Structure 1
Amino acid sequence: MQFTPKILVLPLLAFALASCAPTDTGPSREAQALTDLRALSADEMEGRLVGSEGNARARAYIVERLGEMGVEAVFENYEQSFTFQRSLDFRDPDAERETITAINLVGRIAGTNPGEHVMVVGAHYDHVGMDEDGNIFNGADDNASGTAGLLAVAAAFMENPPENDVIIVAFDAEEGGLRGARHYVANMPEGYESVGFMLNMDMLAYSETDDLYAVGTWHYPVLLDLVTAAAEVSPVNLRTGYDEPSDDPRNDWTMLSDHGPFHAAGIPFLYLGVEDHEHYHQISDTYENMTLAFFGGAVETAVDVARRADAMLDLIARSPSRQPEAVEK
């Protein structure tokens, strides 16, 4: 996640949807998610800064995991590459600039009865790298955790296929501009341009209160029943909030992670993530400092939310935004 929000809590509505309760969770998924979280946040990954060797090592790990599962590559070796300009000194806007190559990873899981729309499930795998003294910003919560959640959702859908086609995207270059998501929305793979819903995961691994936020229901009220039903069975406290327009933009996460460009294109979204905390963008954002029991529950919840969204994808895609004038049609 890019910025530090303040706390704003909106209550859950007190009704439930009799829908698809989670049926495919278990110790093996939790164990694999923990393995992925540890691997992606290891010192070897050097903070996964876009364009770095550590970022490339993280990308290779994700590619290997997708291949092991049998997720179909949409592009060669899953890679959707793009370039952008970055200042050599972020403190000086007039400094010399360099060209950086970033790489999204894009896979497809075929649906059993695909309709007009596809669902995109995404998380960014990059982070901020190292400082001038060589300290590593491991980014366990931000966002090795969301990437591990993404892999868990992919594994669940490979084990029990979705009804609709699901596109799995590990975004690069989220930090500092949501560049990977912006590039993807502007350059969607041929044949998969009709996106009915986007689920984004960014920061799933640290909460002292067991609170996980599902952001987006204010903009897309059709999603409130889905979230309320998921909250009834979630092992963590699944809450809504952080999406209503506010005088303080840090109280509104609508555009603060990779779901933002999808929303701007008029695509309904949910964003799963935690509130700001003491380890956010600090060298203490390490595997050892995460609340791992919460993380396991957050991953289970993400899988459940993805399944529920797949089951009602056509309805979600046809439902209007509360602020249609705020999105680009």
Structure 2
Amino acid sequence: MNYRYITSLFLMFFSLASCKGQTETPKVAVEVLEQNWFHADSLLHHVEVLSSDVFEGRRTGTAGAEKAKNYIINKFQELQVVPLTKNFEQHFSFTRRSKEYAGTNVLGLIKGSVKPEEYIVLSAHYDHVGVKGGKIYNGADDDASGISALFAFAEYFQKNPPKHSVILAAVDAEELGLVGSKYFVKNSIIPLENIKLNINMDMISRNNKNELFAVGSFHYKQLEPAIKSIQPSENIKLIIGHDGSDTLDDWTQSSDHAPFHDVNIPFIYFGVEDHKDYHKPTDDYENIHPNFYQNAVTTIITVFKKLDTTEL
């Protein structure tokens, strides 16, 4: 346990509490992992499992994707997440380049303690690109990392029930054109006006510069204070950008948050910049950055916690 870090947090809090004349709102310190928001070993374990060769790259419509779907359902059940649909599944079909596909979104629900009729959707995609040229593309960062983060949120909610209802959405067919998230939005089980926010996680487990980007507040200014008010975990550099407001690539339409944005549902997309293993067979568990990943998930939960207590 990092006692020096905890002591410094205490001293900082005591100092701030003593300054009656202070007018600037202090940043909210991120809780340390030792306070059991989630189990760090479980977070890593699920990425390792889902990105193993057994799942054959989790391409939509394959046996590997079916195994991944069942794994997610079983884990949701273990974590006391209730199904949003019968057996958690939302089925859809589509055609791409003359090929028929059958996909399945996995949807769980955590009922809100204060505003049960208002929903926050936490999303990540479980599909990847499958097998090419005899090589398995395991997609550890893209996006087994996001799926395992959904499990971490479910662990967090066991001791920290959310005020808004939360949908845990493990969506399919992102790699084939965001098909699963588009279907979720167009065929919403919850009235769209009741969905107040989407937090999407896609590639959050590695970055050589410890940079985690938060995309969306350029379009939805009301989200910016929550992002800026928290002190990111450990060495994480939480950066607002990649949203059309700077010279960086615009990620507004790059992942499963896009269908929500297209119907004016506010979103925050958490992700990292492309790395050398992006969409390559080397995107394996061994190449993620465990400390960065754990701290990134802690930071994302902290942003969620802040937003969950605000008027969305």
Fold shared, TM-score > 0.5 on shorter chain:
yes
CA 1:28–1:255: 2 relative to 1, 3 Å? closer
Aligned-pair distance for 1:16? Answer: 5.9
Q: For 2:99, give the aligned amino acid.
A: E
| Residue 263 of structure 2: aligned partner | 265
Kindly provide the CA deviation profile for residues 223-248 of structure 1, in whole angstroms up to 9, marking residues without a partner as x.
111111224555411111000267x8
How many residue pairs get aligned? The number is 288
The DSSP-based 3-state class of the residue aligned with 1:80 is strand
1:267 Cα deviation after fit: 0.5
Q: Which residue of 1 aligns with 2:47?
A: 37
1:137 lines up with 2:130 in the alignment = no
1:129 Cα deviation from its structure 2 partner: 0.2
Q: Which residue of 1 aligns with 2:292?
A: 294
More strand by share: 2
Alpha-carbon shift at residue 107 of structure 1 (Å): 0.8
- Give the TM-score normalised by the residue count of structure 2: 0.87
- 1:16·1:225 contact (CA, 8 Å) conserved in 2? no
Aligned to 2:207: 207
C-alpha separation between the residues in 1 aligned to 2:26 and 2:196? 20
Shift of 1:111: 1.1
Residue 66 of structure 1 and its aligned partner are, at CA, apart by 0.2
Question: 1:75 corresponds to which letter in structure 2?
Answer: T
2:120 and 2:196 in contact (8 A); partners too: yes
Contact map agreement 1:17 1:228 (CA 8 A) in 2? no
* 1:16 and 1:232 in contact (8 A); partners too: no
Name 1:311's counterpart in structure 2.
Answer: 309
**Matching residue's letter, 2:293:** F
Structure 1: tracts of 5 or more residues without a match = 1-14, 88-96, 317-329
State the TM-score, normalizing by the size of structure 1: 0.82
The amino acid that maps onto 1:282 is: K
Q: 1:190 to 1:273 in 2, by over 3 A?
A: closer
Whole-Å separation in 1 of the counterparts to 2:157 and 2:38: 15
Percent of aligned positions with the same letter in both sequences? 37
1:98 aligns with 2:107: no
Provide the aligned C-alpha RMSD in A.
2.1
Aligned-residue offset at 1:117? 2.0
Q: Measured at CA, do residues 264 and 28 of structure 1 come closer, stay the same or move farther in structure 2, by a change above 3 Å?
A: closer
Q: How far apart, CA to CA, are the structure 2 residues paired with 1:262 and 1:155?
A: 25
Question: Distance between the aligned counterparts of 1:149 and 1:16, measured in 2?
Answer: 29
SS for the counterpart of 1:165 is strand
Letter in 1 for 2:96: R
In the TM superposition, 1:235-246 aligns within 5 A as 235-244=235-244
- Asked whether 1:152 is paired with 2:152, we answer yes
Establish whether residue 64 from structure 1 lines up as the match of residue 65 from structure 2. Answer: no
